[in-house]
Structure 1
Amino acid sequence: MTDRLPRIGVLGIMQELYDHMIPGITQRQAGYARDIAQRLSGVAECVVGGPVKGREETERAVRAFEDADLDGVLIVMLTYAPSLRAARLFAGMRLPVCLANVQPDPAVTPAWDMDDMTYNQGIHGAQDTANAMVRAGLPFEVVTGEWNDDAFVERVGRWARAARAVTAWKTLKVGVFGYAMNGMGDARVDESALLRRLGPEVVAIAPGELHRTVQELPDSAVEELMAWEDERFDVDPRLSKEERGDHARMQIAIERILARRGIGAYSTHFDAIAEDGRFARLPMASASSLMAKGYGFAGEGDVLAASIVYAGHQLAGDGHFTEMYAMDFPSDSILMSHMGEGNWRVARSDEPIRLIKRPLGIGRLDDPPTLLFRIQPGPATLASLVYLGGERFRLVVAEGEVLDSQELPALEMPYGQFRPDSGVRGCMDAWLRAGGTHHMVMNLGRIAADWAALCTLTGIELVQV
């Protein structure tokens, strides 16, 4: 679901009076905008509009970007242009914005004439434009630098991924099968506030729809999934064909419901499945493989966590749902796991992913086939979406490292040990003070700066611990 590059519209703004001063300037600066887009081609698919000079054509260009389902708009000042030509546009901007504070030539030289001064005068246009966006209350990112260097490309790429996540959130539906876990307060959210402020819409899915879809599936679809699992995973020989077939039916049925209803993230609660009375086991392996396909997921009806896992997919790829299970003070790390759901794309590359027969008392159902793996050692980042009441949200982020740690033979669910950069004591003190939730997304790599870019575009408060 996140294999594609972010799709970005490049809006080049300039002043029409320079056409009389310097014939051909519009064509020259249009080429400059295309050069920038080409330089960014490794991090974003850029759609370059023609240079805009007045209010009507500026608004028309941005509406075209919105109609083309782009992820964001990169504004480039091709020359100075008065900001009031775009001021009303900023008041109703629907796409995330980045202001590229760049110029064609990196250095001022004695060879410059007045034409060169005009070509390179974008900085004061950027100031005028940024001021208009601030007055309009529009969140936006700024990247100042040499347009042709790697640092500029990296920073714009980070913004573009954040824009993709923010734009995807605006149309995200989060399905909850049954109901959320009773008494779990840190997952509670005003669903209307979530929809208004960030975009995710919560959709209730009756267990009966899952049951009907399971019953309607052809045997061929089940056999196909099981054959794929035989090739991809180390399958426990103790698993019966009935157990595997039952699990496969639930996975296929869940995915069909999500696809049919346009849902990009979901959550299941073990009691909601168990108390229905029509299901033999919990869909543990289903969650792992659907996360691996790019769906957001969280346990226990947690729509906040499901939303942030989905954002993790969009932002950096391979969002992994997890929670902090226990602290290990000798290694200064935290055992990360959950009841059995985890994105197997973050598994260690030097060990097979196992599909196991796994007894589980929670839910009081039959043994659920579960995907078991250890998390790949190396840099990693945790992020927790916190609801603060009203329309206030906070993101608590921790960078650190997944250790090449001990095996835990009795732990029959995905796991790894995460050492925060700030240490267990410092990290947990700050995490708890900030209200960080007990469900979160993990991404491999250090991506706190990516989460910061997302917060800039949404107005979410960022707390890095």
Structure 2
Amino acid sequence: MTIFDNYEVWFVIGSQHLYGPETLRQVTQHAEHVVNALNTKAKLPCKLVLKPLGTTPDEITAICRDANYDDRCAGLVVWLHTFSPAKMWINGLTMLNKPLLQFHTQFNAALPWDSIDMDFMNLNQTAHGGREFGFIGARMRQQHAVVTGHWQDKQAHERIGSWMRQAVSKQDTRHLKVCRFGDNMREVAVTDGDKVAAQIKFGFSVNTWAVGDLVQVVNSISDGDVNALVDEYESCYTMTPATQIHGEKRQNVLEAARIELG
């Protein structure tokens, strides 16, 4: 089990209610197909979860608000399947504090020249919707990633996977607690200011503990555990004569193993 098993990324489809129920039903079917394919074939580090369509400002705002408060949600992937007027996204994007990726793709890999009609054009408007979403992102100075490519393309999979790893890492470090031993503030230059900035910017909680507390933990490590770790050293590396059994530096190896375990 890895940290990626603890998180999921929400897949959000942008559209608008004016398309009518039949077109929106087809949009939902396409979205389900794409998400299922990405989850089974793209080798993504964590699961994509399809959310309800975002067709009104209130729906989009609710999705972004829920994402903020769901600890399992590491970020949002947004696909503008059809045209989605971008003013509908302003409130949601303003409050969103999770990583965002715009996936600029089409359901079809190629245009069906023998059967294309206005119904097809009405349903597949990523070029229009994606441009609109890109504008509002730039206008709001919204930091986000953009992946362009067909959803079956391996390169697109790799780029989404790379973004996912970064998104999960960012979410996971929000719970990170950093311990600094022996931080006695000698010749301090607002050292605690850096700790405050780390928590404000990254979510790291950085606090100081006495070296004596660490020494107690190191000293509590059993000889059996130390010897087991040294055996692992010897199985992985070629030890110099001085660090082997009865060597003059053998005790240094034992102490290093004890410190590592502590």
Q: TM-score range by the shorter chain?
A: 0.7 to 0.9
Aligned partner of 1:321 in structure 2 is none
Q: 1:233 to 1:131 in 2, by over 3 A?
A: same
Higher relative contact order structure (alpha carbons within 8 Å, sequence separation ≥ 6) = 2
Structure with greater strand share of residues: 1
Work out whether residues 229 and 257 of structure 2, in 8 Å CA contact, stay in contact via their aligned partners in 1.
no
Partner of 1:195: 199
Deviation for aligned residue 1:162: 1.2
Instruction: Give the TM-score normalised by the residue count of structure 1.
Output: 0.46
**How much does 1:227 deviate?**
7.0
Letter in 1 for 2:12: L
Query: What is the CA–CA distance in structure 1 between the aligned matches of 2:89 and 2:174, rounded to whole Å?
Result: 23
- Whether the 8 Å contact between 1:58 and 1:85 is mirrored in structure 2 is yes
The answer on whether the counterparts of 1:91 and 1:137 sit within 8 Å (CA) in structure 2 is: no
**CA-CA distance at 1:213 after TM superposition:** 4.9
Q: In the superposition, relative to structure 1, how do residues 211 and 131 fare at CA in structure 2: closer, same or farther (>3 Å)?
A: same
Question: Bigger shift: 205-214 or 125-134?
Answer: 205-214
Corresponding position of 1:48: 50
CA RMSD of aligned residues (A): 3.5
Q: Which residue identity lines up with residue 33 of structure 1 in the other structure?
A: A
1:349-392 Cα shifts (integer Å, max 9, x gaps):
xx7147867959xxxx9973259xxxxxxxxxxxxxxxxxxxxx
Give structure 2 stretches of 5+ with no counterpart: none
Q: Distance in 2 between matches of 1:28 and 1:52?
A: 14
Q: For structure 1, which segment, 33-42 or 53-62, has the greater mean C-alpha deviation from structure 2 after superposition?
A: 33-42
- Report how many aligned residue pairs link the two structures: 243
Report matched runs for 1:229-248 at 5 Å: 229=229, 233-235=232-234
CA distance in 1, matches of 2:194, 2:170: 19
Shift of 1:212: 5.1
Q: Distance in 1 between matches of 2:166 and 2:130?
A: 21
1:92 and 2:92 correspond: no
Whether the aligned pair in 1 keeps the contact of 2:12 and 2:76 (CA below 8 Å) is yes
Q: 1:76 aligns with which of 57, 68, 79?
A: 79
Seen in structure 2, the aligned counterparts of structure 1 residues 367 and 147 have a Cα distance that, compared at 3 Å, is closer
Tell me the equivalent position of 1:338.
none
Letter matched to residue 233 of structure 1: E
Output the CA distance in 2 between the equivalents of 1:180 and 1:146. Answer: 55
Q: Cα–Cα, structure 1 residues 11 and 207, in superposed 2: closer, same or farther, change >3 Å?
A: same
- The residue number in structure 2 matching 1:34 is 32
Letter in 2 for 1:206: A
Written as runs of structure 1 = structure 2, the 5 A alignment for 1:330-341 is none
* Distance of 1:212 and 1:54 partners within structure 2: 59
Q: Cα offset for 1:53?
A: 0.8
Q: TM-score, normalised by structure 2?
A: 0.78
- Shift of residue 182 of structure 1? 6.6
Which of 47, 60, 66 is residue 68 of structure 2 equivalent to? 66
Compared with structure 1, are the counterparts of its residues 208 and 180 closer, same or farther at alpha carbon in structure 2 (3 Å cutoff)?
Answer: closer
SS at 1:203 equivalent: strand
Partner SS state of residue 368, structure 1: helix
Q: Match of 1:352?
A: 236
What SS class does the counterpart of residue 236 from structure 2 fall into? Answer: coil
Indicate yes or no: 2:220 matched with 1:369. no
- Please give the secondary structure, in 2, of the residue aligned with 1:62: helix
Q: Find the counterpart in structure 1 of residue 152 from structure 2.
A: 148
CA contact (8 A) 1:98 1:142 kept: yes
In percent, how many aligned pairs have the same letter?
22
Structure 1 unaligned segments of length 5 or more: list them. Answer: 236-350, 372-465
Instruction: Give runs of aligned pairs for residues 383-398 of structure 1, distance below 5 A.
Output: none
C-alpha distance after superposition, 1:258-292 (max 9, x if no partner): xxxxxxxxxxxxxxxxxxxxxxxxxxxxxxxxxxx
Q: 3-state DSSP class of the match of 1:138?
A: coil
